[in-house]
Amino acid sequence: MSGARRIFTRPARLAVIAPYLWLVLFFLVPFGFVVKISLSQSAIAQPPYVPVFDLAAGWDALAAAFAALSLDNFRLLISDNLYVLSYLRSLTVAAVSTAILLLIGYPIAYAMARLPRGWQPFAMMLVIVPFWTSFLIRIYAWINILQHDGLLNQTLLALHLVSAPLVWLSTDTAMYIGIVYSYLPFMVLPLYATLAKLPQALNEAAADLGCSPRRAFWLVTFPLSLPGIGAGVLLCFIPIVGEFVIPDLLAGSASLMIGQTLWLEFFTNRDWPVASAIAVVLLGVLLLPLLIYERLQRRQLEGER
């Protein structure tokens, strides 16, 4: 008992409280403000919404402000096709991009994990190196590469793969190229971390029992790498759903992702209540895969005990 008390010393208690304090101060409190604005109504004023809670006006004014809150902005999101289609397009783009990232990232991570130990830090550095450059500069570099007389069209023409320059910019293809390029490290690194920890003796045991390398991969390596796949998928899927910069610079304007719609409502239309409602619904949508992943992780931990 006295040993347990020594473990939970004051620094230990502070270390436990610190993450919860951070969560409350930098997520729950700001999110509470966003929820409050999403229940308000747009107005030509500063700030551009009503009602505004004024504690100095007394309890009656505060009660009247609470009574003025409504769900009208959330009803608008359901009834207006612009918002529904923006959500659906964001989820579709995120799902397709994540699938492409997994198809490309898994072989890269597998190859990195099978390199000699001395070469693995070098391979990891090659994956991380693009992060040393500004995100915007990398996206603008892709604009130059994909433009009409850009490097990609010049290469295709030089190889006689096309007879005339292709249109890449302002297309969904350009957007997918930009997303896959930007998020590839987020898929590769968790996969590599999982695959590098798998003991090679498992594959050797499977080979001793008569498994071919391909069968050993599907029966041994792939199932054990599922936690890394789940982490990589979440790390890519969630930020891609709310992506704004890449679709705005590389994709066409025919259909908008939800990040672009939120930007237009907030900065162009100055409709903060609707923009806040979009953000609240978006967070609710993104919580679903997180809860599923957490539940799967808990089941796995319980199974290992």
pLDDT digits (tens, 9 = 90+) for 252-263: 777 789 999 999
For the stretch 276-301, pLDDT in tens is 999 999 999 888 888 887 887 787 77
Q: Per-residue pLDDT tens for 50-105?
A: 888 877 778 888 888 888 899 999 999 999 999 999 999 999 999 999 999 999 99
Tell me: the pLDDT tens digits for 180-229? 999 999 999 999 999 999 888 888 888 888 888 899 899 999 999 998 99
Q: Which two tokens stand for residue 232?
A: 């990589």
In this predicted structure, what is the pLDDT of residue 106? Answer: 96
Question: What pLDDT, on the 0 to 100 scale, is given for residue 159?
Answer: 93
Domains of the chain: 1-69 (no CATH), 71-304 (1.10.3720.10)
Mean pLDDT (the chain, rounded): 89
Tokens for 38, please give them: 């999403």
Nearest one of 126, 58, 61 to 50, comparing CA atoms: 61
- Strands 49-50 and 41-42, sheet pairing: antiparallel
Q: Is the pLDDT of residue 6 over 60?
A: no
Beta bridge partners of 41: 50
What's residue 7's pLDDT? 56
What pTM was computed for the model?
0.85
- Which three-class secondary structure state does DSSP give residue 42? strand
Tens of pLDDT, residue by residue over 96-147, are 999 999 999 999 999 999 999 889 999 989 988 888 888 899 999 999 999 9
Q: CA-CA distance, 279 to 31, in Å (whole number)?
A: 9
* Burial letters 56-82, b for 16+ CB under 10 A, else e: eeeeeeeeebeeeeeeebbebbeeeee
What residues form DSSP beta bridges with 42?
49
